[in-house]
Amino acid sequence: MKATYKKYILNFKIPSGTSRGVLTQKETWFLLLQDENRYGIGECGILRGLSVDDVPGYEEKLQWVCENIHLGQDGLLQELNGFPSLQFGLEQAFLSLQSQNPFELFPSEFTKKESAIPINGLIWMGDEAFMLSQLKQKLKDGFQCIKMKIGAIDFAAELSILKTIRNNFTPQEIELRVDANGAFSPTDAMEKLQQLSEYQLHSIEQPIKPGQWEQMAELCQNTPLPIALDEELIGIFYVTEKEQLLQTIKPQYIILKPSLVGGFNGCREWIDLAEKYQIGWWVTSALESNIGLNAIAQWTYTLGNSMPQGLGTGSLYTNNFKSPLEVSNGKLYYSKTKQWKHNLIEDLCI
């Protein structure tokens, strides 16, 4: 078996704002396996300033994986505990290699193009006019669950946008989620949660920065609206520590991004623990290309979670890969008419 990798820069169509800054590009690497006439591909992507494996020597570690591919999937995964995105890419690549169709990793009614995954429509940060224009488009596109990034512009303006939505749509018509990306301080978080709760939100993601377990536990205990942990899960590698975090904080939800928390295996550990403690969960992509998004979507469908998932990021880039993934009426479909580019993996191998 031969293993190689290729770096690829994804370019955003529109600069996308979060409370951590504005994104214009996204780095990713493709792990490519070749065994005789079979090919496999996995996406290893990091988010600068967020991924725990955003460290010097990342590419050298990926090169090490290629040089030691003979160790096999299980042997390599054990050596990559501090590199969750490489674990995710490795899992994908081996599944891809072993599949009849290298892009069909989890055959299901989804890949048979007979079923879809409900997803949320994502509204990025910007000025009020820009955020309202995004909202108008998402509603036009048939989304019934909207996720809005908050914490970067004036909080009063963000509340105004939420008020506009609620003045026109009931919680039964539009489910509202907000994502603070840790923007609130522990001292003012509860007050802001109280204000946000007036708009009958489904949940808020990561109100304060991760690593403040006691403060987050207090918020989760007293919150007027459900709290979902997101960045809080990053860098927690071992099952005992995962369980300790959930026992301590007792969140209402956790959000799983495979490339940030150790691939499918890492997510499965979180899911098992969440269900043990009756904590809700859903899956979100971490701005992967359509190759990584395809793997996440197929896996997510097999989990049977009926909540809207965070898998609507495939249209963000100018240079993404054409794929059968298609968003329509607030759902992600495997299109009956669109196809992967012929010889895409072989082209990347060159």
Question: Is position 303 within any domain?
Answer: yes
- What integer pLDDT is reported at residue 193 of this predicted model? 98
Out of 141-155, 201-215, 244-258, pick the least confident. Answer: 141-155
Distance (Å) of CA 232 to CA 245, 253, 254: 9, 12, 9
Residue whose C-alpha is closest to residue 245's, from 135, 33, 301, 235: 235
In a domain, 241, yes or no: yes
Q: How far is the C-alpha of 301 from the C-alpha of 303, rounded, in Å?
A: 5
> What Cα–Cα distance (Å) separates residue 293 from each residue in 61, 105, 128, 272, 297?
23, 12, 29, 22, 6
Q: From CA 54, how far away is CA 29, in angstroms rounded?
A: 13
What's phi and psi for 105, nearest 5 deg?
Answer: -90, -30
Residues 6+ apart with CB under 8 A from 27: 7, 8, 9, 10, 45, 46, 48
In a domain, 263, yes or no: yes
Indicate the pLDDT class of residue 22, thresholds 50, 70 and 90.
Answer: confident
193 and 234 belong to one structural domain: yes
**Mind telling me the catalytic residues?**
149, 257
141 and 229 in a common domain:
yes
Is 193 domain-assigned?
A: yes
Task: Summarize the confidence of residues 123-128 as an average pLDDT.
Answer: 80
Domain match, 140 and 97 both:
no
Residue-number span of the structural domain to which 191 is assigned:
117-334
Indicate which CATH number applies to the domain containing 161: 3.20.20.120
20 pLDDT band, cuts 50/70/90, is low
| pLDDT of amino acid 309 | 97
Residue 112 forms part of a structural domain:
no
At 346 the pLDDT is 77
Residue 292, in any domain of the structure: yes
Distances (CA, A) of 260 to 4, 86, 115, 119: 22, 10, 27, 20
CA distance readout (Å), 292 to 114, 229, 263, 330: 21, 22, 11, 20
DSSP, collapsed to helix, strand or coil, labels residue 105 as: coil
What's the mean pLDDT in 224-250? Answer: 97
Q: Minimal CA–CA distance to 295: which of 276, 323, 337, 261? A: 323
What is the enclosing helix (H) or strand (E) of 9?
A: strand 2-18
The answer to the question of residue 110 being in a domain is: no
Mean pLDDT of the 10-29 span? 82
pLDDT at 312 (0 to 100): 85
Q: What is the CATH number of the domain that holds 99?
A: 3.30.390.10
> What pTM was estimated for this model as a whole?
0.95
For residue 19, pLDDT beyond 60: no
Query: How many domains are there within the chain?
Result: 2
Q: State what percent of residues in the chain have pLDDT above 70.
A: 99
Residue 92 shares a structural domain with residue 134: no
Looking at every residue in the chain, the average pLDDT score rounds to: 93
Residue 77 shares a structural domain with residue 169: no
Indicate if 185 and 210 belong to the same structural domain: yes
Residues 142 and 286 occupy one common structural domain: yes
- Distance, CA of 206 to CA of 259 (rounded, Å): 18
Residue 183 CB: number of other CB atoms within 10 A?
A: 21
**Residues 51, 77 within the same domain:** yes
Indicate if the pLDDT at residue 21 is higher than 80.
Answer: no
- What average pLDDT does the segment 57-72 reach? 97
Structure confidence at residue 336 (pLDDT): 84
Residues 267 and 238 grouped into a single domain:
yes
Mean pLDDT of 111-138: 88
99 and 128 co-located in one domain: no
Residues 125, 97 share a domain: no
Angle, helices 84-98 vs 263-276, to 10°: value is 110
Shared domain check, 88 and 17:
yes
Tell me whether residue 111 is in a domain. Answer: no
Name which of 29-43, 138-152, 186-200, 253-267 the model is least confident about: 138-152
Lowest mean pLDDT, pick from 64-68, 82-86, 171-175, 343-347: 343-347
